[in-house]
């Protein structure tokens, strides 16, 4: 049975054996993070104000490009919470391991949502569909 997160006007389901971190929900840009086994990480950030979704995804991409010398990037789109998203799938090397990260951003009303997930590639094969299922369950 999946666990359910329901606060700040959002709701989503996630695996009950994953840890939830709400330590940054009181911030201006509130973030809820999930940590699965190994390197699996899924984060949702709510940006208040008139943030452009494409600019938010681009900012994450630029941060990743600054962090990793060899970053393969592919534009990616999803349909999350009834919204078309703008984002990127990124592959990179970290500590001699290949990893995949994905960022998607969309706007509902005055809030821009950014979803970011990542895992080392061997784990990503296992958790990629879990990340997508968490995102697909998001209700705003």
Where do the structural domains in the chain lie, given as residue ranges?
Answer: 3-136
Q: What is the pLDDT of residues 67-88, one digit of tens each?
A: 998 899 999 988 898 888 989 9
Mean pLDDT of 6-14: 94
Task: Supply the pLDDT for residue 114.
Answer: 95
Task: Supply the pLDDT for residue 43.
Answer: 97
SS3 131: helix
pLDDT at residue 24 is higher than 90: no
Domain 3-136 in CATH 3.40.50.720? The answer is no
How high is the mean pLDDT of the chain? 92
If pLDDT is split at 50, 70 and 90, which confidence band does 97 have? confident
Residue 123's contacts (CB-CB under 8 Å, 6 or more residues apart) are 37, 38, 39, 40
pLDDT at residue 22 is higher than 80: yes
Phi, psi of 132 (to 5 degrees): -65, -40
pLDDT at residue 46 is higher than 80: yes
Given a contact cutoff of 8 angstroms between Cβ atoms, the answer to whether 66 and 20 are in contact is no
Specify the pTM: 0.92
Task: Supply the pLDDT for residue 27.
Answer: 64
Given a contact cutoff of 8 angstroms between Cβ atoms, the answer to whether 40 and 119 are in contact is yes
Mean pLDDT of 2-24: 94
pLDDT at residue 48 is higher than 90: no
Long-range contacts of 94-97 (CB under 8 A, 24+ apart): 94/68, 94/120, 97/121
Mean pLDDT of 38-52: 91
Residue 59's contacts (CB-CB under 8 Å, 6 or more residues apart) are none
For the chain, the distance separating the N- and C-terminal CA atoms, rounded to the nearest angstrom, is: 22
């Amino acid at each position: 049975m999946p666990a359910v997160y329901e606060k700040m006007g959002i709701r989503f389901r996630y695996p009950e054996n994953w840890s939830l971190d709400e330590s940054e929900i009181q911030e201006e840009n509130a973030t809820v993070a999930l940590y699965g086994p190994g390197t699996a990480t899924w984060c949702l950030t709510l940006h208040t104000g008139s943030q452009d979704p494409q600019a938010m995804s681009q900012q994450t991409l630029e941060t990743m490009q600054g962090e990793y010398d060899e970053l393969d990037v592919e534009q990616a789109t999803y349909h999350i919470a009834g919204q078309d998203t703008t984002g990127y799938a990124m592959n990179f090397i970290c500590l001699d391991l290949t990893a995949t990260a994905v960022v998607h951003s969309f706007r509902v009303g005055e809030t821009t949502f950014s979803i970011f997930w990542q895992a080392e590639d061997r784990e990503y094969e296992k958790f990629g569909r879990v990340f997508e299922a968490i995102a697909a369950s998001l209700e705003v």
